[in-house]
Chain A
Amino acid sequence: MSAFELVTPRSVEEAIASLRASDGTGSAPLAGGTDLLLDIDDGRAAPARVVSLRRLPWRTLDWVGGALTIGSTLPLRSLEDDPGVRAQLPGLYQAVHAVGSVALRHRATIGGNLGRSAPASDLIPMLLALDAEVDLVGPSAERRLSVNDFVRASRRTALAPGELIRSVRVPESRPSAYVWQRVRLANDISQIAVAVAYSPSGRRWSVAVGGMPPRPVLLPEVARGLGNARPTDPALRAAGERATREVTIAADQRASEEYRRRLVGTLLGRAVRSVDVAEGVHR
């Protein structure tokens, strides 16, 4: 017997209705399945109905000026392959490239990454630093939330029952970088990671840290300390020290508190130095 019933709706309305119809017995949307199927195997999730999103028209990538809208079911590999992402959002390219392996990225999606909301997600810190937003569709109205408001904790998001992530919107192109530390290069998750982006329109930095429970976080004070252009070496060192103090560093099975504390400033320095603020181009 199958652990669940799989349905494959052909329209968004049908998908929302299928998710709703099994309320009570439990339902879950399926995108690439690289998180959900493992959760089901391990008994962390036991939906009676799994709703495949593969026939929905969301495998899209649209540039309007410097703004990028990414369909939630676009495989990460397609996002990584877009020349615009490489050139205009280098940090996002690096973050996507950091996820799993090529074969994993052929199926894994950005919607699934946000839906899982893992503390060690490689995409969430970068999306935070890029001030990205999610567009949700559901039984009632559509709504737009910042990624910061959408992500709550591990496996906890702002999604209401029956609601789906339709797309993720990055409002502007930004010189940016994503650097991480892990044990194995591929198919491992980051022990700690730093995402930085520079907004040319706002002349300001954003900094986010990921890899630790309960969730990736923005560090606005650290970002302010970087000033409004390329920081001097002392300013960068001070920002690193501030980050070490401000991040609530936790230990888990992947790294000790001490190890992570030592790494935050180093990774921040590496990330900021690799961003070319003047050119708007990443080296």
Chain B
Amino acid sequence: MTAASADLTVNGRRASFTALPDDERLLDTLRWRLGLKGTKEGCRTGDCGACTVLVDGRSTLSCLTLTREVEDAAITTIDLGAGDREVDRVRAAFAAAGALQCGYCTPGFVIALAGLLKERGRSLSLDEILDSLQGNLCRCTGYAAIARAAALAREAAP
């Protein structure tokens, strides 16, 4: 079958589809079936990081992931309300540091950084954080404010 039913868990909610094409990307399911437009499409080739979501807590490029491949996983996107410790903390750090201009890259950065804090917590050095964010592109800020936000988010780690 090439369009069977599918179940997905996104931001703690279960979503069911009666016919989901086998080749559908997670990015498209999130944006066009679920209307979760926070996750952005920048390049669709893995280069920009704008489409980053968490799959079982690990940062993942949703443009290069088949939806069916993550049916059993818990997916977290920027559209999540308040309540996730790391996402909340990184959002607050981005606001405090003024780390965005047009905002297109911001969901990807926030999710990538929140995922990194979940993965590594306080053991991360600032250099490692910045190295780990190399996969996210920003065309506006020049990265200085994003680096300040990363430092703030790290200091706020419990």
Q: How large is the interface on A (under 10, 10 to 19, 20 to 34, 35 or more residues)?
A: 20 to 34
Q: Mark B106-150, 1 if CB is under 8 A from A, else 0.
A: 000000100110000000000000011011100000000000000
Query: In A15-67, which residues have CB < 8 Å from any B CB?
Result: 30, 32-34, 37-38, 40-41, 50, 52, 54
CB distance A106 to B46 under 8 Å? Answer: no
Q: How far is the CB of B64 from chain A (nearest CB, A)?
A: 5
Q: Chain B: which residue is nearest A184 at the CB level?
A: B134
In the bound complex, do residue B112 and residue A6 qualify as a contact, i.e. CB atoms below 8 Å apart? no
Given A33-B69, A103-B59: A3 in contact with B23 (beta carbons within 8 A): yes
| Contact stretch, chosen from B10-18, B47-55, B96-104 | B47-55
Measured between beta carbons, the chain A residues less than 8 angstroms from B115 are 102-103
Check A102 against B132 for contact (C-beta < 8 Å).
Answer: yes
Say whether B46 contacts A187, CB under 8 Å. Answer: yes
A70-108 CB contact bits vs B (8 Å, 1 = yes)?
000000010000000000000000000000111110110
Is A232's beta carbon under 8 Å from chain B? no
Question: Could you say which of B3, B23, B48, B59 contacts A106, with CB atoms under 8 Å apart?
Answer: B59
* B66 and A37 contact, CB distance less than 8 A: yes
* Inter-chain contact A4/B22, CB cutoff 8 Å: yes
A178 CA to B23 CA, complexed, in Å? 36
* Cβ-based interface call for B60 (8 A): yes
Query: Chain B residues near A104 (CB, 8 Å)?
Result: 46, 61, 64, 135
Contacts of B49 in A (CB 8 A): 101, 103, 187
Whether, in the assembled complex, B21 has its beta carbon less than 8 Å from a beta carbon of chain A, the answer is yes
Contact for B2 among A1, A54, A184, CB less than 8 A: A1
- Cβ of A251 within 8 Å of any chain B Cβ, yes or no, is no
Known: A6-B66, A34-B46, A186-B134. A102 touches B21 (CB 8 A): no
- A250 touches B (CB below 8 Å): no
Is B112 touching A103 in the complex (CB atoms < 8 A)? yes
The closest CB in chain B to the CB of A101 belongs to B135
Contact A107 B134 (CB under 8 A): no
A229: interface (CB < 8 Å): no
Which range holds the interface residue count of chain B? 20 to 34
Establish whether residues B60 and A107, one from each chain, have CB atoms under 8 Å apart when the complex forms.
yes
Q: How far is the CA of A38 from the CA of B43 in the complex (A)?
A: 12
Of A50, A77, A103, A184, most B-chain CB atoms within 10 Å:
A103
Min CB gap A54→B, angstroms: 6
B46 CB contacts on chain A under 8 angstroms: 34, 38, 100, 104, 187
By the criterion CB–CB under 8 Å, are A187 and B60 in contact?
no
Are A4 and B47 in contact, with the CB atoms below 8 A?
Answer: no
CB of B112 within 8 A of CB of A102, answer yes
Given A4-B23, A186-B135, A187-B47, check contact A103 B1 (CB 8 Å): no
Complex CA–CA separation, A50 to B24 (angstroms): 13
Give the shortest distance, in Å, between B80 (CB) and chain A (any CB): 17
Contact of B65 among A3, A5, A33, A40 (CB under 8 A): A33
Chain B contacts for A106, CB-based, 8 A: 55, 58-60
A4 contacts which of B2, B61, B116 (Cβ < 8 Å)? B2
Bound-state Cα–Cα, A107 to B70, Å:
11
Whether B2 contacts A103 by the Cβ 8 Å rule is: no
Pairwise interchain contact A77-B64, C-beta atoms closer than 8 A: no
Minimal beta-carbon separation of A6 from chain B (angstroms): 4
Q: Which B residues fall within an 8 A CB radius of A? A: 1-3, 21-25, 44-49, 52, 55, 58-61, 64-66, 68-69, 112, 115-116, 131-132, 134-136
7 contacts between A and B (CB under 8 A): A2-B23, A6-B23, A38-B64, A100-B135, A103-B52, A107-B64, A185-B131
7 additional A-B pairs beyond A103-B59, A106-B60, beta carbons within 8 Å, are A5-B22, A30-B69, A101-B134, A106-B59, A107-B60, A185-B134, A187-B46
Q: Hey, which bits of chain A sit against chain B, CB under 8 A?
A: 1-6, 8, 30, 32-34, 37-38, 40-41, 50, 52, 54, 77, 100-104, 106-107, 184-187
